[in-house]
Structure 1
Amino acid sequence: MIERFLRPPSGTAEWLADALRVVGLLSLFVAGFVWSPTDAGILAFTLPALVLPRFLGVRAGFDILFSVSVLVAAWSNVIDLYRTVPGWDLLVHFECTGVLAVMLYVFAGRLRIIPDVVGTRPPARTPIVLATIIGLAISALWEMVEWAGYTFITDEIFVEYADTIGDMAAGGLGALVGGLIATRVHLLE
């Protein structure tokens, strides 16, 4: 994994993917100076996610989609799109959880937790089932983080039962769609 991470980018798409990682790092500082430490903390969560595709050696297009998704999800919180744009919350939960679930599916393969996905075509049901399970787990974990943030840090975080269930359902559906797409698209270099 280290060799893949340290390999210089080749081609425009890989340079763009690396530029998005720089945008993520700069976002942390911008949010910290222009908005609040809480907002900087939200963007700090993106940094490990933004470098993960580089370690895993996913195709540049998937890397870009993943990185944009993570940055949009984080910045949507900072600039309050989840509260001000109707349906935005569900759309982001659907899309971002879908790409996150597929990325974690690849990660599990690279760690040999599941059969490695490199150079093989697993049965179609494998990424569908595993990405959906991963997506539902991510959704539950995220909602717990929101609850903990609301309970212990700030009451500015919106937590409500219907919102929580809706977010988890949208995330699970997005992960299912991500798993379906993963059966058709080659994700790794």
Structure 2
Amino acid sequence: MIQNFLRPPHGAAEWAADAVRVLALLSVVAAFVWWEPTDAGVLALVFPGVVLPRFVGVHPLFDIGYGVVLLVAAWSNVFDLYTRIWWWDIAVHLVATGVVAVLAFLLVARLGLVALSPGARVVLCAAFGLAASALWEMVEWLGKTFVSSSIFVTYDDTIGDMAVGGVGALGAGVVLAVLSARGSARRPARPSVETKHS
């Protein structure tokens, strides 16, 4: 995977995906200079996640979308959109957990650790999404407990976020399975090789 990370970008989409990564790094600096240290901390947590697709070697369009979704999720915290718009938290958890689950699946698939059947894609994406949701809620709790009491954490919000994230991950798994099945159907079958016995 290090070869994927070190490989120069080819084509406009790969350059755009790398531009999103640069934007993520600049976002950390901007939040630290003009906003609160906790805002910079949230963006700093997102930055490694935006870099990870470069290692995995995902399709550049997914790479761009994934990075933009994570940046929107982080900047929504800076601009307090989660409390200003009642449905924003639901929408972001739904979409962000979905793309994170897909990336997690692609990572373990690249490592050869999982089965690639359509059913496995759906189940594993859902599991990865629920795990990521639980981890994020723990990070929020740690932030509220040890960093700033202004971080919004309640039982109902935590459970709701995890449930919505699970639904988003399940949906993303279904989309991944459908796209994979279509891609397999379009590929020409390999010609069979007859072996001759002497």
Give the TM-score category using the shorter length. over 0.9
Which one of the candidate residues 136, 152, 172 is aligned to 1:142? Answer: 136
Matched, 1:23 2:17: no
Distance 2:177 2:65 in 1: 17
Name the counterpart of 2:48: 48
Q: State the Cα RMSD in Å.
A: 1.3
Aligned with residue 171 of structure 1, among 165, 173, 194: 165
Q: What amino acid is aligned across from residue 123 of structure 2 in structure 1?
A: V
Distance 1:4 1:138 in 2: 24
Confirm or deny that 1:2 pairs with 2:12: no
- Give the residue type in structure 1 aligned to 2:18: D
Give a deviation string over 1:53-100, Cα, whole Å, max 9, x none: 111110011101110111011111111111111110010000000000
Is residue 174 of structure 2 the alignment partner of residue 183 of structure 1?
no
Out of 126-135 and 44-53, give the one that drifted further. Answer: 44-53
Residue 143 of structure 1 deviates from its aligned partner by: 0.9
1:38 corresponds in structure 2 to 38
Map 1:107-122 → 2, pairs under 5 A? 107-115=107-115, 122=116
Q: TM-score, normalised by structure 1?
A: 0.92
Pairwise CA distance, 1:144: 1.1
2:179 aligned counterpart, secondary structure: coil
Question: Per-residue displacement from partner, 1:116-148 (whole Å, max 9, x unpaired)?
Answer: xxxxxx221111000001101111111111111
C-alpha distance in 1, partners of 2:10/2:178? 25
Deviation at 1:185, TM superposition (A): 2.6
Whichever of the two has the greater Rg, that structure is 2
CA distance in 2, matches of 1:183, 1:158: 35
Q: Secondary structure at the match of 1:58?
A: coil
Amino acid at match of 2:78: V
Distance in 2 between the 1:12 and 1:184 partners? 27
Deviates more, 1:92-101 or 1:37-46: 37-46
Q: CA offsets, 1:22-50, max 9 Å, x none?
A: 00000000000000111111100111111
Task: Measure, in 2, the Cα distance between the counterparts of 1:130 and 1:166.
Answer: 21
Structure 1 distance, partners of 2:32, 2:111, is: 34
Question: Structure 2: 5+ residue runs without aligned partners?
Answer: 184-198
Q: Indicate yes or no: 2:56 matched with 1:62.
A: no
Q: SS at 1:184's partner residue? A: helix
User: Aligned partners of 2:92, 2:132: CA distance in 1, in Å?
Assistant: 13
Structure-2 residue corresponding to 1:132? 126
Match of 2:48, SS state, is helix
Instruction: Indicate the residue corresponding to 1:71 in structure 2.
Output: 71
- For residue 112 of structure 1, report the CA deviation from its aligned partner: 3.0
